[in-house]
Amino acid sequence: MSSISSDKIIENIKKASIYYQEIIMHLTQNQSANFSSIFYENNKSQEIATKLFEQFFEHPEKFTEINLEYIHNLQQLITSSVAKFTGKQYEDSQNDKSFFDKRFKDPAWQQSVYFDFIRKYYMISANWTKNTVKQYELDSDSKRFLEFTSNQFMDALSPSNFIFSNPEVIRESLDTGMSNITKGMENFLMDLKKSDGLINISTTDKSYFKVGKNLATTKGKVIFQNDLIQLICYKPKKMTHAIPIFIIPPWINKYYIMDLSKKNSLIKWLVDNNFQVFLVSWVNPTKDLAHKDFEHYLQEGVIEPLEYIKTLGFSKVNTVGYCIGGTLLAIAISYYKSNNNTIINSASFFTTLLDFSNPGELGALINKSTIDCIENKVSEVGYLDKNYLTNSFSLIRANDLVWSYFVNNYLLGKSPAAFDILYWNSDSTNLPAKMYIYYLKNMYIDNLLKIPNNIQMLGTKINLTDIDIPTFSLAAKADHIALWQSVYDGIKLFKGNKTFCLTEAGHVTGVINPANSYKYPHMISTNIVENPNKWLESAKIQKDSWWNSWNKWLCNNSKELTKSINYNSINMIENAPGSYVCE
């Protein structure tokens, strides 16, 4: 432990007091800093609470075994802690999952009797809460909401989130004379002042990145634009595959998730592998585009850029859709199929939901109970504020994306490292009210897209079961936004040659997994059976990145190498990354 003078400690306490007063003043004077309850203000909350009390008092026997087990576990914990304190040998349970929990990686959580007790008491209580919630009989939306909120509550109460119960924070405070607390309060005040509507915890060093300089740097140019998109044409190699690739990224975030730093850029990798790449860059809509609906996104985001690509001499394209971009792509393919247009040669879907029967943890926030509240909120301003979805996605993985940075930034007083994916994650976009509400009601809640002819776009009934082009569908095992089983259910709707690929990691890190990386293996198979778990049994395990398997699939569907288009002769609006992505 370093020697810290009392004057230094007093000085840090004074600074912390000043920051504290400024934080309180900012919170009281700026209502916009308050956390929005857009997803929580619904009439069903009171109904759920009433049912919980009724079931508890009507059937107390359902909870007896759980409570007895809880008491037994506490008694064992006390016995083991006393034994360790007195120096006696006591064998720990082998089922202690907290040994593998990143929140408790500091050695003191196991070595210290005090912190060992706190950790185990928390884990026992969290498990009791989870088991108690399971006992309640509620409709699926209510049960999902209860599970979600109870998990959020227990995550927030983790002893790692508090100064006096986190050994690393205590040690840092003693070593620095509480400089970490002072710096942490300064970090919190800075985040508070930078936040617009919701308090956003910094997850990366934003000063390190700049779009167009060290992100989205693959050479290309904007060759077409309308109200919603800019179409980027990337400079090809001298020889390219005869059929180009047209990519539709999600419009919930900026397109450059596909073109991060050079080592993580999927676009650069495609260009280096002799593919001619076109990509949609979505606008960041304001209330002026509140009237834009899903049909506008189909017309202006897919049909119009594809028509422009045809003028460059391409009669066929291989398409890629990521997340909601894949949902739009499937609709577009069905639309073209019904209108006898054969421009789309194949389709690749990245973590895309087409069957919304099981929307995962997002279903706790977006369901029939919350939709009216969401519609009223977004209709007031004409769009869904970008921060709402970003914070919702963060809450789904609160320990990784919220509380770990809360501890790092505010308790340890450190600054987050520079990480391109997290920079992109914080650079989200708004969503037009009309489009967003249509998407939620017709797909997320009523799940109409999977039913033939139940959705109509631009005068055409959409039927995904008619799609018979080659398809490649990617899912990620740890994806909390698009559950891999739900992604699998979507590909079952198609005809034709179907390939399903399951990678490790999550919604973003599973997709952005460079070809030379062996960090996340994958499984792949063309044997699309009814049960996804049966698919696992037949899938081949590959130790490298899924990019390599996808490359083989793309080559088989892209024809031979030929001389590339005359890139320099194509009219340019501006250089990539374009202006829309910077808005």
What is the Cα–Cα distance from 194 to 406, expressed in whole angstroms? Answer: 16
Run of H or E residues at 246: strand 245-248
What is the Cα–Cα distance from 223 to 570, expressed in whole angstroms? Answer: 7
What's CA 178's distance to the chain center, in Å?
35
Q: Is 105 strand, coil or helix?
A: coil
Strand partners, 216: none
Pairing of strands 383-384, 277-282: unpaired
Q: Which of 520, 528, 583, 506 is nearest to 549 (CA)?
A: 520
CB 279 within 8 A of CB 581: no
Q: Tokens in use for 276?
A: 């001619």
CB 494 within 8 A of CB 365: no
Q: Is 200 strand, coil or helix?
A: coil
Query: Is 582 designated active site?
Result: no
What is the Cα–Cα distance from 485 to 475, expressed in whole angstroms? Answer: 8
What is the Cα–Cα distance from 319 to 309, expressed in whole angstroms? Answer: 12
Query: 233, 323, 373, 555: which is the annotated catalytic residue?
Result: 323
How many residues in the chain?
583
Q: Is 299 strand, coil or helix?
A: helix
Among all chains, which residue has been given the structure tokens 């202690």?
A: 96
Which residues are the active-site residues?
323
